[in-house]
């Protein structure tokens, strides 16, 4: 049951083949079994069971709230959840219990979803590995998959099996791992520079970054106000579309959400791609790109072409500057957004009471890790009066050039862009920590951050396993507010490539029957 898609489980719930409480218990049990992954910071067991009870009552009366009623979901720990600790994996907010729900969380709860818990991340969502939070790094479930382990045995690695575990990518690594390990059916992440798509690619799940302005940021602890978007992680594209349909829409509490009416939608099943034009940005073919990802990218392009789509090479000329531009804008906005943490109204407070400034300084020293402090200091450097024009405003101008690159490409008839999501498959943690956070972010965000600067929708879809048995995902980028079209193309692609299911049998002794091909008799999905 846990391996099913959201739609299938929803149908099963409606038909009484499983109850919300059973589903909840199974997920909680799996969360306990997969605790070593460190995907969850807080497991809200009591809350979830209570919600399951209420959902069950609704189903008994035949009044289910919708597709998400009774479905276990997880939320990244930088979304405010009323009554549930929200830490952002930082000492600054350890013990902080928000008095309100983020709008997207509220929408999920209003639809009857069961909140399993808050997932782990890089501290304040700064990082590309989910390794830099105070609760420790998140382990990629694929490290323990049959697919990966068999390949390692073949290459006769004799080391201790667990010592070389792989990162999930970041910063929404906890959410990606939670979905990948079947502990929930959907999870919320956040995406500022690729933080949803990067771990999605490394964990073999679908990671959607909606258009900026489509989904409310109210309650998402902000990093970069002009680029942050709540992200959606699911095991298939249809599920992502279902969740997006519920989360999208104007929020009076977030004035950066557009007012155009948005309705939940079902994705059509494309059979004919001959009217589609796929763009392949040539500047994304960088020397650092691994040959495996590159060859999968080519295969994907050929796939579209062989099915009749028009596949053309396009140019995004300012690509090589986008990561620097992102770096300046990101650190500058971070410097501003982190200023709210002063220990007075919420969060950590030091013992120093000599003066406000001394108190703020000590509080922030104790509360923030090196990465956060580094970004604040860099950001303030770029915002100094003598540097403002040359760095910050300059970066804003380059941002416009980058956004225009995309506009030009889409105006020339391209419907969707196809690019890699990451440079390679997930790497071992011991490898990853050889470089510092800033360097890694600059390397790993290379294909994903330009999309945030232009505010476009993008989705990472897992394509195939690497020669090591690890997932590799590709990214589709769509026109602004054409999320539905983007997901339609992604769905077609997903169906063509038939990405394998992760095999975690060794961990799930008594759940192993779940992963074999069950055919649920008479489950009719509309």
Partner 1 sequence: MWARAVRLRAAARGRRGFTSKADSQGSGRVTGELIQHLERLSLVDFGSQEAVARLEKAIAFADRLRAVNTDGVEPMESVLEDRCLYLRSDNVVEGSCAEELLQNSHRVVEEYFVAPPGNISWSKLDEKQPFSHR
- Active-site positions read 76, 171, 195
Q: Which is nearer to partner 1, 442 or 520 (CB)?
A: 442
- Shortest distance (Å) from residue 123 CB to partner 1: 13
Q: Which is nearer to partner 1, 36 or 388 (CB)?
A: 388
Q: Any idea of the CA torsion for 211, 320, 331, 106, to the nearest 10 degrees?
A: 20
200, 473 in Cβ contact below 8 A?
Answer: yes
Query: Strand, helix or coil at 303?
Result: helix
Q: Which is nearer to partner 1, 381 or 515 (CB)?
A: 381
- Shortest distance (Å) from residue 432 CB to partner 1: 17
C-alpha atoms less than 13 angstroms from C-alpha of 402 in its C-beta half-sphere:
26
Strand 471-477 to 458-465 pairing: antiparallel
| β partners of residue 117 | 43, 74
Structure tokens belonging to residue 173: 């690594």
Q: Which is nearer to partner 1, 137 or 343 (CB)?
A: 343
- Shortest distance (Å) from residue 325 CB to partner 1: 6
- Shortest distance (Å) from residue 435 CB to partner 1: 11
Q: Quick one: residue 88, left, alpha or beta (phi over 0 = left, psi -120 to 50 = alpha)? A: left
236, 7 in Cβ contact below 8 A?
Answer: no
For residues 8 and 523, give the distance between their C-alpha atoms in angstroms, rounded to a whole number. Answer: 8
Q: Any idea of the CA torsion for 208, 212, 215, 216, to the nearest 10 degrees?
A: 130
Cα angle vertex 487, ends 70, 329, to 5°? 100
- Shortest distance (Å) from residue 222 CB to partner 1: 14
Q: Which is nearer to partner 1, 70 or 222 (CB)?
A: 222
Tally the residues of the chain. Answer: 526
Q: If you ran DSSP here, which 8-state letter would residue 215 be given?
A: B
- Shortest distance (Å) from residue 273 CB to partner 1: 28
- Shortest distance (Å) from residue 364 CB to partner 1: 5
What is the sign, positive or negative, of the torsion defined by CA atoms of 484, 490, 493, 498?
negative
CA proximity to 105, closest of 84, 126, 89, 128: 84
Please identify which residue in the block is written with the tokens 């499983």. 18
Q: Which is nearer to partner 1, 358 or 525 (CB)?
A: 358
Structure tokens belonging to residue 116: 């399993």
Q: If you ran DSSP here, which 8-state letter would residue 497 be given?
A: H
Q: Which is nearer to partner 1, 21 or 443 (CB)?
A: 443
**Across 109-150, where does the E strand assignment appear?**
114-119
Each as own residue / partner, the long-range contacts of residues 406-409 (CB below 8 Å, 24 or more positions apart, any chain) are: 406/316, 406/450, 406/454, 406/456, 406/477, 407/454, 409/279, 409/281, 409/314, 409/315, 409/316
- Shortest distance (Å) from residue 481 CB to partner 1: 10
Q: Which is nearer to partner 1, 188 or 229 (CB)?
A: 229
- Shortest distance (Å) from residue 388 CB to partner 1: 11
Q: Which is nearer to partner 1, 133 or 174 (CB)?
A: 133
300, 463 in Cβ contact below 8 A?
Answer: yes
């Amino acid at each position: 049951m846990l391996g099913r898609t959201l739609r299938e489980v929803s149908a099963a719930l409606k038909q009484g083949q499983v109850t919300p409480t059973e589903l909840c218990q199974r997920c909680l049990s799996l969360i306990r079994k997969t605790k070593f992954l460190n995907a969850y910071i807080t497991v809200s067991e009591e809350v979830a069971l209570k919600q399951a009870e209420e959902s069950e009552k609704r189903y008994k009366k035949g009044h289910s709230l919708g597709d998400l009623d009774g479905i276990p979901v997880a939320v990244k720990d930088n979304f405010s959840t009323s009554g549930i600790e929200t830490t952002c994996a930082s000492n600054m907010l350890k013990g902080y219990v928000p008095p309100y729900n983020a709008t997207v969380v509220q929408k999920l709860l209003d639809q009857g979803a069961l909140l399993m818990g808050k997932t782990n991340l890089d501290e304040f969502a700064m990082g590309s590995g989910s390794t830099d939070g105070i609760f420790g790094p998140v382990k990629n479930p694929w490290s323990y998959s049959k697919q990966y382990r068999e390949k390692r045995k073949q290459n006769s690695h004799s080391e201790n099996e667990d010592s070389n575990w792989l990162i999930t990518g970041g910063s929404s690594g906890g959410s990606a791992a939670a979905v990948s390990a079947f502990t929930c059916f959907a999870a919320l992440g956040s995406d500022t520079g690729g933080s949803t798509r990067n771990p999605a690619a490394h964990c073999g799940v679908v990671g959607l970054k909606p258009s900026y302005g489509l989904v409310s940021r109210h309650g998402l602890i902000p990093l970069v106000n002009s680029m942050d978007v709540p992200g959606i992680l699911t095991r298939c594209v249809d599920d992502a579309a279902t969740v997006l349909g519920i989360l999208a829409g104007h929020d009076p509490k977030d004035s950066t959400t557009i007012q155009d009416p948005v309705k939940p939608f079902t994705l059509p099943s494309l059979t004919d791609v001959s009217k589609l034009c796929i763009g392949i940005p040539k500047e994304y073919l960088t020397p650092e790109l691994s040959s495996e990802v590159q060859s999968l990218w080519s295969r994907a392009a050929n796939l579209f072409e062989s099915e009749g789509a028009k596949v053309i090479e396009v140019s995004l000329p300012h690509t090589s500057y986008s990561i620097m531009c992102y770096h300046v804008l990101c650190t500058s906005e971070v410097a501003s957004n982190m200023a709210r943490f002063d220990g007075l109204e919420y969060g950590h407070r030091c013992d120093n009471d000599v003066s406000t400034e001394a108190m703020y300084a000590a509080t922030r020293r104790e509360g923030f890790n090196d990465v956060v402090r580094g970004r604040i200091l860099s950001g303030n450097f770029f915002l100094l009066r003598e540097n403002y024009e040359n760095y910050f405003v300059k970066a804003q101008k380059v941002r416009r050039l980058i956004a225009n690159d995309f506009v030009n490409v889409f105006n020339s008839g391209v419907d969707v862009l196809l690019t890699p999501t990451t440079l390679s498959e997930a790497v071992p943690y011991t490898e990853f920590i050889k470089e510092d956070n800033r360097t890694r972010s600059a390397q790993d965000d290379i294909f994903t951050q330009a999309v945030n600067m232009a505010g476009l929708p993008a989705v990472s879809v897992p394509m195939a396993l690497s020669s090591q048995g690890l997932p590799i995902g590709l990214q589709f980028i769509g026109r602004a507010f054409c999320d539905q079209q983007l997901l339609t193309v992604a769905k077609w692609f997903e169906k063509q490539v038939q990405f394998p299911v992760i095999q975690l049998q060794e961990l799930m002794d008594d759940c192993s029957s779940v992963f074999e091909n069950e055919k649920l008799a008479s489950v009719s999905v509309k």
